[in-house]
Amino acid sequence: MYRPKTLWIFAGLLFLQIAHPLPAQNTAAIPEPSTPITWASRWAEKLERVRKGDIDLIFVGDSISQAWDKPENYPIWSAYYEPRKAVSLGYSGARTENTLWMLENGAVDGIKPKVAVVLIGTNNTDSKRGRLAHTPEQLAEGIVKIVHTLRAKLPETKILLLKIFPRADFPGATQRGSDASDIASAIADNKSVFYLDINSIFLKADGAIDPALMPDLLHPNPVGNLRWAEAIEPTLRKLMGEPDNNAALPAIKCEQDFYDWNERHEAVKAQIRKQPVDVIFVGDSITHMFGGVPASNRTNAGDLWERHFEPRNAVNMGFGWDRTQQALWRLQNGELEGITPKVAVVLIGTNNISPHNARGNTNAEVVEGVKAICDTIRQKSPRTKILLLGILPRDEQANTLNRIRIQQINAELSRLNKKRGITFLDFGNRFLQPNGAMLPNITTDFLHPNENGYRIWIEAMEPVLSRLLREKRR
């Protein structure tokens, strides 16, 4: 039984609460276990993957992060993240409160990733399906709590917090997300927690979302995801503690192919000692199968090399499966010793965008690797002119991720034209139909030219090569 004085105190407190109600709890910062039924199988799958361990990178978020597991995004994932032992812990429809629940119920237990990329909150900014749209302050609190939870569970992990991506499918959502991210960004100390705003990559010049990158004005498509990967790569590489760009670090053979790599390297060195060398072709299997000397056990170009390049004292330094780093090693280890070719034809980089025994490289890394090759040629033989060819198109159809990346890389390589003794030539459009599809009967596999494809190469390159060699018109 309450005493009279106690009753009066209780009544007074009750009156104050009615007259001035306490602020409602912020649901954006309270773990919420109720999740869509569609999460059940994914939740079990991801828990099993986490249980196995050996994870260096995680993506924590919603459907935008979950999309990394879609087949159409695999070419990007396989090049940028799979070699880093990455796992996407994104869940479609997830809000901050759902992510908090998952983090507190095993989502990251037992692992020690080097980096956690966090992109969460867009679903808190709308009231679709009757859910609450949180204020920027409420959402920021939820985001900060996620970061704190990750820090507590993964004390050795660096956290890369991304600004909530723009969206235009719900009124006011972009502004709420932007404001919330700005508030939450204060948690970044640039020691354990880092903040990055890459939203401009999804926008047109007028500031509107580019539907070519976000068709539904919310989720990036594969091209948008490629931009996302490229935008965070410099920061991510630093946080992962990775060495310098491996595309620009000399490395010996890393793939098994149709020939003996070391044997061919020795054959090239022997070849340049026994003949005059006026032209060298530096490249991968596309160059390798052009023919010429040293002899190869596989050629696709018929007698085209013998007719066009043998009279010019040319040596074929193409090696199947080579990336920029292998070509760089070869040039620094004997393949330019004692010679001063008039022209070096360089076509390299297509293997760098595909993972296999070596991780795939970003666009910027590939460009840096090609530059390193050109610089090495100039250092070893300052009077040699470099004819740098644009990476040839691959894949049968237009607008594949490989095609898009090659276009982007070539655009950057074109900036080298008339610099560093380089002449840049991109004739890839000659391999394509008006609709962008590969011309029929010019390749063996929509990557390697056949005799018809090599003939197109020669026709496109001949005027430029002849000029660089200062040949008289024939």
Note the pLDDT tens digit of each residue in 374-410: 999 999 999 999 999 999 999 999 989 999 999 999 9
pTM of the predicted structure, to 2 decimals? 0.80
Helix (H, G, I), strand (E, B) or coil at 125: helix
Residue 451 in any domain: the answer is yes
Structure tokens at 328: 């760089």
The CATH number covering residue 113 comes to 3.40.50.1110
Query: Which pLDDT score, from 0 to 100, does residue 9 have?
Result: 31
What pLDDT digit, counting tens, does each position of 404-446 carry?
A: 999 999 999 999 999 989 999 999 999 999 999 999 999 999 9
Query: Which pLDDT score, from 0 to 100, does residue 171 have?
Result: 94
pLDDT band at 36 (very low <50, low <70, confident <90, very high): low
Q: For residues 229 and 369, state if they share a domain.
A: no
Q: For residues 235 and 301, state if they share a domain.
A: no
pLDDT band at 257 (very low <50, low <70, confident <90, very high): confident
Lowest mean pLDDT among 33-42, 109-118, 188-197, 319-328: 33-42
Q: What rounded mean pLDDT belongs to the chain?
A: 92
Laid out side by side, the sheet with 158-162 consists of 86-90, 57-61, 115-119, 158-162, 193-196
Query: Which pLDDT score, from 0 to 100, does residue 362 have?
Result: 87
Tokens 């390049």 locate to: 309
- φ, ψ for residue 427, nearest 5 deg: -115, 20
Q: For residues 309 and 225, state if they share a domain.
A: no
Residue 251 region by backbone torsions, left for phi larger than 0, else alpha for psi between -120 and 50, else beta: beta
Enclosing domain of residue 293: 247-468
Q: For residues 266 and 183, state if they share a domain.
A: no
Residue 360 in any domain: the answer is yes
The winner for highest mean pLDDT among 35-49, 77-91, 152-166 is: 152-166
- CA 260 to each of CA 104, 198, 255, 256, 265: distance values in angstroms, whole numbers, following the listed order: 53, 45, 10, 8, 9
Q: For residues 263 and 195, state if they share a domain.
A: no
| Cβ atoms of residues 219 and 64 within 8 Å | yes
Distance between CA atoms of 454 and 459, rounded to whole angstroms? 9
DSSP secondary structure letters along 59-115: EEESHHHHGGGSGGGHHHHHHHTGGGTEEEEE-TT--HHHHHHHHTTTTTTT---SE
Q: For residues 38 and 109, state if they share a domain.
A: yes
Query: Which pLDDT score, from 0 to 100, does residue 358 have?
Result: 78
Strands 279-283, 343-347: parallel, antiparallel or unpaired by DSSP? parallel
Distance between CA atoms of 317 and 462, rounded to whole angstroms? 19
Q: Is the pLDDT of residue 185 over 50?
A: yes
Q: For residues 224 and 259, state if they share a domain.
A: no
Residue 418 region by backbone torsions, left for phi larger than 0, else alpha for psi between -120 and 50, else beta: left
pLDDT band at 21 (very low <50, low <70, confident <90, very high): very low
Query: Which pLDDT score, from 0 to 100, does residue 474 have?
Result: 53
| Cβ atoms of residues 390 and 283 within 8 Å | no
Helix (H, G, I), strand (E, B) or coil at 52: helix
Query: Which pLDDT score, from 0 to 100, does residue 79 have?
Result: 86
Residue 333 in any domain: the answer is yes
Helix (H, G, I), strand (E, B) or coil at 280: strand
Q: Pick the last residue of a domain from 210, 239, 268.
A: 239
Query: Which pLDDT score, from 0 to 100, does residue 3 have?
Result: 40
Query: Which pLDDT score, from 0 to 100, does residue 24 have?
Result: 67
Residue 3 in any domain: the answer is no
Q: For residues 260 and 149, state if they share a domain.
A: no
Q: For residues 364 and 451, state if they share a domain.
A: yes
Query: Which pLDDT score, from 0 to 100, does residue 85 have?
Result: 95
Q: Is 91 exposed, middle or buried (0-12, 13-18, 19+ CB in 10 A)?
A: buried
| Cβ atoms of residues 135 and 175 within 8 Å | no
| Cβ atoms of residues 169 and 204 within 8 Å | no
Q: For residues 205 and 272, state if they share a domain.
A: no
Q: 259-263 — which CB contacts under 8 Å span 24+ positions?
A: 259/288, 259/296, 259/297, 259/298, 259/320, 261/319, 261/326
| Cβ atoms of residues 309 and 435 within 8 Å | no
Q: Pick the last residue of a domain from 239, 261, 279.
A: 239
Residue 404 in any domain: the answer is yes
Q: Is the pLDDT of residue 15 over 60?
A: no
Q: Pick the last residue of a domain from 192, 215, 239.
A: 239
- Counting every residue written for the chain, the total comes to 474
Q: For residues 206 and 314, state if they share a domain.
A: no
pLDDT band at 17 (very low <50, low <70, confident <90, very high): very low
Q: For residues 197 and 50, state if they share a domain.
A: yes
What pLDDT digit, counting tens, does each position of 320-342 carry?
A: 999 999 999 999 999 999 999 99
pLDDT band at 243 (very low <50, low <70, confident <90, very high): confident
The total domain count for the chain is 2
pLDDT band at 37 (very low <50, low <70, confident <90, very high): low
* pLDDT, mean of residues 9-38: 58
Q: Is the pLDDT of residue 2 over 70?
A: no
| Cβ atoms of residues 162 and 198 within 8 Å | yes
Q: Is the pLDDT of residue 12 over 50?
A: no
| Cβ atoms of residues 114 and 56 within 8 Å | yes
Percent of the chain with pLDDT over 90: 85
Tell me which DSSP letter residue 116 carries.
E
Q: Is the pLDDT of residue 147 over 50?
A: yes
What pLDDT digit, counting tens, does each position of 275-307 carry?
A: 999 999 999 999 999 999 999 999 999 999 999
| Cβ atoms of residues 245 and 365 within 8 Å | yes
Residue 194 region by backbone torsions, left for phi larger than 0, else alpha for psi between -120 and 50, else beta: beta
| Cβ atoms of residues 188 and 151 within 8 Å | no
Residue 195 in any domain: the answer is yes
Q: Pick the more confident residue, 34 or 54.
A: 54
Tokens 């066009």 locate to: 308
What pLDDT digit, counting tens, does each position of 54-89 carry?
A: 999 999 999 999 999 999 999 899 888 998 999 999
Residue 217 in any domain: the answer is yes
Query: Which pLDDT score, from 0 to 100, does residue 33 have?
Result: 80
Residue 143 in any domain: the answer is yes
Q: Pick the more confident residue, 83 or 5.
A: 83
Percent of the chain with pLDDT over 70: 93
Query: Which pLDDT score, from 0 to 100, does residue 78 have?
Result: 87
pLDDT band at 240 (very low <50, low <70, confident <90, very high): very high
